[in-house]
Amino acid sequence: MARYIANKLFYTLVSLFILISATFFLMKAIPGNPFMSEKKVPVAIQERLYEQYGLNKPVYQQYFKYLGDIAQGDFGISMKKINQDVSTIIGDTFTASLKLGLVAIVVSVIVGVTLGLLAALYHRRLIDNIAMVVAVLGIAVPSFVIASLLQFVFSSKLHMFPTMGFKGPMYYVLPVTALAAQPIAFIARLTRSSMLEVLHADYIKTAKAKGLRWYAILFKHVIRNGILPIVTYLGPMTANIVTGSVVIEQIFGIGGIGKQFVQAIGVRDYPVIMGITIFYGILLMVARFLTDVAYVFVDPRIKLSGGKED
Amino acid sequence: MDTNDITVMSSPVDLKPEDFRKIGSDEKQAEVIQRESLSAWRDAWRRLRANKMAMTALGVLGLIVIAAIVGPMISKYNYYSNDLLNTNQKPSAEHWFGTDDLGRDMFVRTWYGARISLIVGLAAAMIDLFIGVIYGGIMGYFGGRVDNIMNKFSEILYAIPYLLVTILLLVVMEPSLPTIILALTITGWINMSWIVRGEIMQLKSREFVLASRSMGAGWRRLLFRHLLPNAMGPIIVTVTLSVPNAIFAEAFLSFLGLGVQAPIASLGSMINDALTGWLYYPWRMLFPAVLISLTMLSFNIFGDGLRDALDPKLKK
C-alpha cells in the first residue's frame, strides 16, 4: 500500500520534471530572445539586459536556475505586461478559475451520478433513453458550441442570464452548464454501466431475498458499490474541466487563468505560457495522483492484488 | 434470449411417442455443415447491420465525407477569395450558407473546413494506430523486462497532460497541417499501445499460438499473422473513437490560435472566427458548429456500435 503510493508519487514527480524540462528547452529552441529587436540597441545596454536576466550564462546554468526558481514558486516575469510576475498573474486570476472549476465539478458529479443511476434503475425505459441521448450529445458536442448556444438562447434572446462577467450566482449558471456538460455525459455513462452491473450482482438478489427495503438496497448496496468507477474518472475530469475552462472563460469573459493563457499564447508571451503550462501540469498531475491513491482507499479489493497490474 | 427458450419448452403441443424416430448417430451426418459458416468478420458485420443507430451514423459519416470532397468542387466560389462588398451576408441563393466577415463563401468554407478537420482526425488516428500497434505489440509480445521498461516510459509520458504538450509544441513550431498532426500524435498513441498490449498479453497464452509456435513460427509470423489479426476488434474500435478526439483537439487548438492558419479553414477555426459577433451573424457559427457536432456524434455512435458488434461480450 505505502509502496504503491510511493511508486505513484515517484512517477508523478518524474513526469512533472519531464514537463518542466521540456517546457524550458522548447522555449530555448525558439530562435532569438526577448531583447533582440529590429531597433538597434547599443551593445552595452543589451549586455546589461542579458546579465540582469541571466541570458549570458550557459544554457545548463539557466536551466538549473529555472528549476530552482520554480521550486520556490517563481515563474519569472511577463514579457508583455510590464513589471508583472507570472506568479502574481496566476495568483490573481486563479480564484475565479477555481470557483468556476469547483462548482462545475460538484455539479458534474451530482447531475452525472443521478442521471446514470436513474438510467440504470429504469433500464431500457424512457428515462434511460433520455439520459443516454443527453450523454451522447454531451460527449459529441464541443463545449464551445454548447457555450455559444447557451449564450445565444438564454442571454441574448431570452435575457435570463447575463452574457459576460463573473459577479454573482446568476453569472455561474451558463458557464458551469457548458463546462459540466461533457463530464456529466461521461459520469452518467460510467455510472449507468457500473450500476447495471451491480444491480445484477448476487448480493443484491440476497438483499432482496432477505426482504430489505428498496431504499436500503439502493443506498447501502447499489450506490456504494456502483460509485467506485466514478473515482477513477476524477483525474481525467479535472483535466477536462481545466482545458474546458480555457475556452469557457474566453467566451463568457471571465478573468481566470484560462483567459490569461489564451491571451499569452496570442501575443507569444513566453514566460506566461511556460508558467501557466507548468501550473496546469502540476494541478492535473496532482489530481491524477490523488485519484490513484483515492481509488485504493475506496476499493479494498485493489489492496490484495498489490497495485494496478491490469 | 432466455425468454425464447422458455416459450419453446413450454409450448403446449401434444407429442406422442410415435412422433419420435430413432436416428442413431451417423458420423457422416455429424460432419455435414448445415448452415453457411460465418467468419468472425461477417458475423460482426451482421450484428452491426442490425444496429440501426450505428448504421445511420455510418450513413451520415459517408454523406459528410462525400460532401467534404465534392462540396468545394461544385461551387463557383473558393475558400480563400475575399469579397469585401458582400461581407456577413445571410444565406441566400447566391451564397447558400452566407458569407463570413471577409465575404468568403461559407458553403465552400464549411465543406473545405470539414475536409481539413477530417484529414487531421484521420491522419492523427492513423499515426496513433501505427506507433501504438508497434509499441504495444512489442510490449505485449515480449513481456518481462522489455514490457516493464517500455510500459514505465509510456506511463510517464501519459501522465503529462496531452493538450499541454500539444500547445507547447505548436507555440514553438509554427502551426501548419503537418505540425498540428504531429503535435496531436506526440502522446496520442499511448492509449492505443496499451489496448494492443493488453490484447496481445491475453492472446499469447492461447492454444492456437502455442500450436503455431510449436510448428516453428518466428515472432514476426506469430505477431503479425496470429496475434494482431485477433486483436483487430478492439484496435478498430479505438481508432474509430480516437478520430473525434483528434477533431475536437484540433478545434480546441484553433480556439487558442494554434490551429490551421488562415486562409485555410477547419471547422474549429471557423467556429472560432465566428465567435466575434456571432450574436449578430449566427449562421456563421451555425453551419460549422452543426457539422462538427454531427461528425463527432456519428463517430462516437458508430464506434460504440462497432464495439458491440465486434465484441458482444462487452455489450451492456
Q: Residue B300 belongs to a domain with what CATH number?
A: 1.10.3720.10
Say whether B168 and A310 touch across the interface (CB within 8 A).
no
Q: How far is CA A121 from the centre of its chain?
A: 30
pLDDT in the model for residue B60: 94
Residue A195 lies in a domain: yes
Residue B271 domain flag: yes
**CB-hemisphere CA count at 13 Å for B210?**
4
Which of residues B101 and A157 earns the better pLDDT score? A157
Percent of chain A topping pLDDT 90: 14
For the beta carbon of residue B174, count every other beta carbon within 10 angstroms: 9
Q: Is B9 on the interface with A (CB under 8 A)?
A: no
Which amino acid does the sequence have at A202? D
Q: What nine digits make up the cell of B196?
A: 494492443
User: Residue B259 CA to chain centroid, in angstroms?
Assistant: 21
pLDDT tens per residue, range B110-121 = 899 899 999 999
Kindly indicate the confidence band of residue B61, based on its pLDDT and cuts at 50, 70 and 90: very high
Q: What angle do CA A23, A28, A30 make, to 5 degrees?
A: 105
The answer, for A293 touching chain B at a CB cutoff of 8 Å, is: no
Residues 136 to 165 of A: which have CB under 8 A from any B CB?
A: 136-137, 139-142, 144-145, 148-149, 151-152, 156
A67 belongs to a structural domain: no
Determine, yes or no, domain membership for B98: yes
Q: Report the residue from A14, A144, A277 with minimal CB separation from B156.
A: A14
Residue A74 placed within a domain:
no
Closest chain B residue by Cα to residue A10:
B156
User: B193-210: per-residue pLDDT in tens?
Assistant: 999 999 898 888 889 889
SS3 B99: strand
Whether B94 has a pLDDT exceeding 50, the answer reads yes
A155 within a domain of the structure (yes/no)? yes
- Residue A286 inside a domain? The answer is no
Q: Compute the distance between CA of residue B190 and CA of residue B227 in angstroms, rounded to an integer.
A: 19
Residue B220 pLDDT greater than 80, yes or no: yes
Total tally of structural domains belonging to chain B = 1
Q: Is residue B1 part of a domain?
A: no
B267 Cβ under 8 Å from any chain A Cβ: no
Tell me A158's DSSP state: S
Interchain CB contact of B288 with A (< 8 Å): no
Q: Express each pLDDT in A216-245 by its tens digit.
A: 888 888 888 888 888 888 888 888 888 888
CA nearest to A249, candidates A261, A239, A238, A266: A261
Question: Minimal Cα distance from B248: which residue of A?
Answer: A142
* B29 occurs within a structural domain: no
Which amino acid would we find at residue B80? Y
Contact criterion met (CB < 8 Å) for B161 and A280:
yes
**Per-residue cell: A243:** 482545458
CA closest to A196 among chain B residues: B316
Give the HSE-up count for residue A35: Cα atoms under 13 Å, Cβ half-sphere.
Answer: 16
Q: Residue A56: inside a domain, yes or no?
A: no
CB B36 within 8 A of CB B283: no
Interface contact B297, partner A, CB < 8 A: yes
Least confident piece of the model among A102-111, A295-304, B280-289 = A295-304
In this complex, the residue of A140, A193, A288 whose CB is nearest that of residue B293 is A140
Structural domain total, chain A:
1
CATH code of the domain containing A207 = 1.10.3720.10
Range of the domain at B179: 56-314
**From the centroid of its chain, how far is CA A165?**
21
Q: Rounded to 10 degrees, what is the CA torsion of B294, B296, B301, B302?
A: 100
Q: Enumerate residues 23 to 62 of chain A having a beta carbon within 8 A of any beta carbon in chain B.
A: 23, 26-27, 29-30
| Residues in chain B within 8 Å Cβ distance of A14 | 156
CA pair distance A71, A68, nearest whole angstrom: 5
Per-residue CA distances from A199 to A186, A188, A232, A298, B118 (Å)? 20, 16, 20, 19, 40
Residue type, B233: G
| Within-domain flag for B18 | no
The answer to the question of residue A135 being in a domain is yes
If one compares B306 and A302, the residue with the highest pLDDT of the two is B306
For residue A131, what are the domain limits?
A: 87-267
Q: How confident is the model at residue B2 (pLDDT cuts 50, 70, 90)?
A: very low
Quote the percentage of chain B above a pLDDT of 70. Answer: 92
B62 in a structural domain:
yes
- pLDDT given for residue A124 in this prediction: 85
Task: Name residue B99's beta-bridge partners.
Answer: B105
Could B155 and A243 be called an inter-chain contact, meaning their C-beta atoms sit closer than 8 Å?
Answer: no
Reported ipTM: the value is 0.79
Does a structural domain hold residue A226? yes
Question: A-chain residues within 8 Å CB-CB of B171?
Answer: 26, 265, 268, 270, 273
Least CB-CB distance to A243: which of B163, B171, B258? Answer: B163
Rounded CA-CA distance B197/B209 in Å is: 16
CB A60 within 8 A of CB A231: no
Record: contact A27-B289, CB cut-off 8 A = no
* Facing B168 at nearest CB: one of A22, A149, A284: A22
pLDDT in tens, A168-181: 788 888 999 999 99
Contact: B278, A14; criterion CB under 8 Å: no
Residues of A in contact with B157 (CB under 8 A): 15, 18
Question: Average pLDDT for residues A82-110, to the nearest whole number?
Answer: 88
